[in-house]
Amino acid sequence: MRRGSRGGRTEIHRRYRAQFGKIDILVKQCWARAPRRLLEATEEDYDAVLNVNLKGVFFITQAFVKNRIQAKAGGKIINISSVHEELPFPHFTSYCASKGGVKMLTRNLSLELAPLGQPSACRVVQIFVDGSFDAPGAML
């Protein structure tokens, strides 16, 4: 499965539904980064970060909401982001842009999903993480 690919997200969703029967809560902490100075960054670096950190969040959320509407049941969506959606982080411009996108996506989802009403409404919450980049496997 390619990180950030639509096929990968669909497969993850299918596996969890097969194992647990239903998914009531969607918690996402997507974390890809490609530390580069602006003038050294490639389109591949940018795409790798945005595909995981923003595009992946968007489409797995879409699949979750479709499932909850089909099931006529509510759900909860929790997006875990980074303080770098607000705070600059030199040489991580694509990472910061992706986290800023997650912030706006979360805010917009709250408004867009609110009119669905109970029981099909999904509550959307965002959590900010001020963590270290020293986690194993954290870098692309």
Q: Which of 31, 64, 92, 95 is catalytic?
A: 95
Peptide bond into 35 cis (omega under 30): no
Half-sphere exposure at residue 115, Cβ-oriented, CA atoms within 13 angstroms: 3
Residue 27 token pair? 């918690």
* 88 SS3 class: coil
Answer yes or no: are the C-beta atoms of 98 and 80 closer than 8 Å.
no
Rounded CA separation 66/9 (Å): 14
> Across the strands, what pairs with 75?
122
> Across the strands, what pairs with 25?
76
How long a stretch of residues is the chain?
140
16 is catalytic: no
Residue positions annotated with a catalytic role: 95
